[in-house]
Structure 1
Amino acid sequence: MRVTCIVGARPNFMKVAPILAAMRAYPALVARLVHTGQHYDERMSTLFFRELGLPQPDAYLGVGSGSHAVQTARVMELFDAELDQHPADVVLVVGDVNSTIACALVAAKRNILVAHVEAGLRSRDRRMPEEINRILTDQISDYLFTSERSALENLTAEGIDAARVRFVGNVMIDTLVTHRAAAGTRTVVGDLGYQSKQYALITLHRPSNVDTPEAAANTVAAIEAVAARLPVIIPLHPRTSGKLQQFDLLGRVTALPGARVVEPQGYLDFLCLMDNAALVFTDSGGIQEETTALGVPCLTFRDSTERPITVTEGTNVLLGTEAAAVPAAVDAALKGRTGARIPEYWDGKASERIVSILVAGAS
């Protein structure tokens, strides 16, 4: 069986790494890694690949940035040519970035089986480009691998045959389980001048929070509200940095007492910062999952989440996007949350389940 695995952006790296590792147990399974280059920072990509034990990509498409339409079309064009040279029996895509839907479309039109990891997640907010990517990818996938049981309800409601759906657990947590001990040896917390559980970790980048002057000003006010309660570490996403500079707001963040604004971190250092935080303030989907697995309180600065299990069972609180709600939410989070638990099958073995299902389907 020839399986081509797609990565396009850094969150994909953490999802594909354990799947490729699990595939090594099956000599008859030939894996190929294609990096579309949708998001590419040479230093960060090299660091992530090394820390996660990812092999160098067999193909790098070099798509780069662009509008959603341009980027998706470019991925489709280049991946179609890639499959001409290197045919596949299965194309495995993860998450919800433009590369996910683009490569799934190319494969489906070639009658190649499509496997979608993290299928069935829904925010119910179609203003998010990722929501469109999720819905359409699921419609054309042959294997739909879900990370939480509620995903099956979403897929069934959209007319997808339950026979195509497999509940396997969360591959992001596979990576976390594998690397948590190594992350625990990192010195980044002390190097930044902090102590464990004495700071908040902040990461915000969604267009709805930073792409207009009004949204960016509201986000800065929210950051200021967190920083008024405890010291903060802010690994600043490039799009956030650019927008705050554009709107003349960056100085308000860098001038905050007790705040450290740093560059985006490698996987192990960021995991260390997250594991040692008193709370995390974010708009990231993956971080909602990771904080739940770590038992770290998380405040999500969004109106919706495609990962509801992090709220119903985990440590996540869906805060909305009003800065005025932040102070009370931070105070409540610091008191701790009773009853939070690690969800079913978030046990570090999701990738093994995925690969065994693919191999069984080929036999």
Structure 2
Amino acid sequence: MKITIVAGARPNFIKIAPIIKAIEKKQSEGIDITYRLVHTGQHYDKNLSDTFFEELNIPHPNANLEVKSGTQAEQTGAIMVAFEKELQQHPCDLVLVVGDVNSTMACAIVAKKSHIKVTHVEAGIRSGDMSMPEEINRIVTDSITDYFFTTSTTASENLLKYGANPNDIHFVGNVMIDTLTQNLNRISAPVFWDEFGLTTGNYIVLTLHRPANVDEAQSLLTLLQGIDALAGEKKIIFPVHPRTKAILGDRSLALKNTLMVEPQGYLNFMFLVKNSFAVITDSGGISEETTVLGVPCFTMRNNTERPETQTIGTNTLVGTSIENLKKLFGDFLKDGPKPAGIPELWDGKASERIIEILLQK
């Protein structure tokens, strides 16, 4: 079996790492399975791209399509044109896409039109918010996918509602957690740990990058000032996403507790999350990692495609209002963390299940 694996952005790299390890394990057992890794180049900042290949021991990509940024249409179109040439030059039996970025949807469409089977890892998750580009990517990808691998029973149920064949839906667990499990003994403090006087539990991790939170400069400043004020005696470590950095420009922020740092590699970032007092974010994936690490997480969005992080895990959905965050964070300070557990099959073995199932197809 020849598999082409597609990665385009930071979350993709984290998800493909354990899948590659599972394939290589089968190869070592004499199983006839090979892979070709294609990096679309959708994220090209070194801290958001190359670093993850190095840190997670992912082989250098066989091809980099070097698409880079642009509008949604420009980027998606460029990926499709480049990936079509890639498949013509390097035919395969199966294209495996992960997550919900533009690369996921674009490469799934090209593969399907090239009469190649499509596997979607992390299929079926839904936020219900069609203003999110990721939601459109999920729906389009799942509408043409052949083999669905889901992180939860809720995701599997979503696919059934859309009319997917039950025989093609496989609840296997969460590959993001595979990577976390495999690298927990390798995480390390960032270079600024001692300089900033960080210790376990004396800081909050903040990440913001979604348009609703960062695209309007004044509302972003108001949000940052509000978060800075609620920290009390805690420091706030804020790895600034390039998108957010561009919006802020050279404005003077006058933040007392917030320390702005460059985007972090996976091993440093997971160390920060694991040892933090709490996380405030608008990322979906981070709420999965905080759930397994047992770290309280406050997600600044009106919806989540990962409801199990809220119903079972440590995540609290806040909305985009600083007033809501102040109230819910205040409740947390007063009452302590809510009871939480780890969702079913988030045990670090999802990738092995995926490859076992694909070999039976």
The TM-score range, normalised by the shorter chain, is over 0.9
Report what 2:313 is aligned to.
314
- 1:220: how far off? 2.3
CA contact (8 A) 2:121 2:148 kept: yes
* Separation in structure 2 between the aligned mates of residue 44 and residue 304 of structure 1, nearest angstrom: 25
Within the alignment, does 1:178 sit opposite 2:169 as a pair?
no
CA contact (8 A) 1:189 1:196 kept: no
Report what 1:8 is aligned to.
8
Report what 1:251 is aligned to.
252
Query: Which deviates more, 184-193 or 168-177?
Result: 184-193
AA at the equivalent of 1:200: I
* Separation in structure 2 between the aligned mates of residue 318 and residue 75 of structure 1, nearest angstrom: 33
- 1:13: how far off? 0.4
Alignment of 1:1-363 (within 5 A): 1-27=1-27, 28-42=32-46, 44-183=48-187, 189-213=193-217, 215-228=219-232, 230-245=234-249, 250-252=251-253, 255-334=254-333, 335-361=335-361
- SS of residue paired to 2:164: coil
Structure 1 outlier segments of 4+, above 6 Å: none
- 1:25: how far off? 1.9
CA contact (8 A) 1:297 1:336 kept: no
* Separation in structure 2 between the aligned mates of residue 121 and residue 346 of structure 1, nearest angstrom: 15
CA contact (8 A) 1:218 1:322 kept: no
CA contact (8 A) 1:205 1:239 kept: yes
* Separation in structure 1 between the aligned mates of residue 35 and residue 190 of structure 2, nearest angstrom: 32
Deviation track 1:157-197 (CA, whole Å, cap 9, x = no partner) reads 11212221100000000000011111156665334321101
CA contact (8 A) 2:47 2:265 kept: no
Give the root-mean-square deviation of aligned CA atoms: 1.6
* Separation in structure 2 between the aligned mates of residue 126 and residue 217 of structure 1, nearest angstrom: 26
AA at the equivalent of 1:72: T
- 1:43: how far off? 5.0
Deviation track 1:53-76 (CA, whole Å, cap 9, x = no partner) reads 100000000001001111101100
Deviation track 1:83-113 (CA, whole Å, cap 9, x = no partner) reads 0110010000000000000000000111111
* Separation in structure 1 between the aligned mates of residue 352 and residue 68 of structure 2, nearest angstrom: 32
- SS of residue paired to 2:185: helix
- 1:214: how far off? 5.1
Provide closer, same or farther for how the CA distance between residues 221 and 196 of structure 1 changes in structure 2, counting only shifts above 3 A: same
Query: Which deviates more, 143-152 or 217-226?
Result: 217-226
CA contact (8 A) 2:47 2:264 kept: no
- 1:228: how far off? 4.0
* Separation in structure 2 between the aligned mates of residue 237 and residue 186 of structure 1, nearest angstrom: 17
Query: Which deviates more, 156-165 or 282-291?
Result: 156-165
- SS of residue paired to 2:245: helix
Deviation track 1:311-338 (CA, whole Å, cap 9, x = no partner) reads 0000000001111122222233344334
CA contact (8 A) 1:189 1:272 kept: no
Identity %: 51
- SS of residue paired to 2:270: helix
> Which runs of no fewer than 5 residues in structure 1 stay unpaired?
none
> Which runs of no fewer than 5 residues in structure 2 stay unpaired?
none
* Separation in structure 2 between the aligned mates of residue 58 and residue 70 of structure 1, nearest angstrom: 24
